[in-house]
Amino acid sequence: MRLSTKGRYAVMAMVDLAQYSDGDPVSLAEIADRQEISLSYLEQLFAILRKRGLVKSVRGPGGGYLLAHDREEMRIADIILAVDEPIRATRCTPGAPVGCRGNRTRCLTHDLWEELGNQIHLYLNSVSLADVCEHRVLGTSGRIHCETFRSQATTGAG
């Protein structure tokens, strides 16, 4: 299963916004520079996020975007779903009585992939923007990175 750039970039931009706003609006140009995302693509994403009530826009000098809710309350799944990114691992529509095969039946592994999609949704729904900002979702790669950084800091290597 692969998450498209739309979902990944929306989450990256929202995490950036959560980290850098401090109550002041953040411009999309700043987010685009920090995250290396096209400004025009961010404009499209933030139009959707604003329409879905996840961000607020502030016009004029010093304007930009603010989170519409506290970062502890905003779930990663909500961001991905807001930009119409389906969280599923099957070709079929979730919960549909018919499958995606030519004869409208389900493949042999349909239930396996549908449940994987459910688990991914549950996980992303359990993670808040604050969790990501405060590094509370360190997987193996995060632990290796932190250990390498600590090792370099104590030995002076780097």
Q: In the structure encoding, which two tokens stand for residue 92, read together?
A: 């079929």
d(CA 13, CA 133): 12
Residue 108 domain-assigned (yes or no):
no
Query: In this predicted structure, what is the pLDDT of residue 52?
Result: 96
Instruction: Give 83-129 as a 3 state SS string.
Output: CCCCCCCCCCCCCCCCCCCCCCCCCCCHHHHHHHHHHHHHHHHHCEH
Q: Which string of b and e fits 20-45 if b means at least 16 CB within 10 Å? A: ebeeebbebeebbeeeebeeebbeeb
pLDDT, tens only, 75-121: 999 999 999 767 667 776 666 677 777 787 877 888 888 888 889 88
Q: Is residue 58 very low, low, confident or very high in pLDDT (cuts 50, 70, 90)? A: very high
Number of folded domains that form the chain: 1
Q: Write out pLDDT tens, residues 20-47.
A: 998 899 999 999 999 999 999 999 999 9
Q: Is 127 a residue whose pLDDT tops 70?
A: yes
- Within a domain: 19: yes
Domain range for residue 73? 1-85+128-133
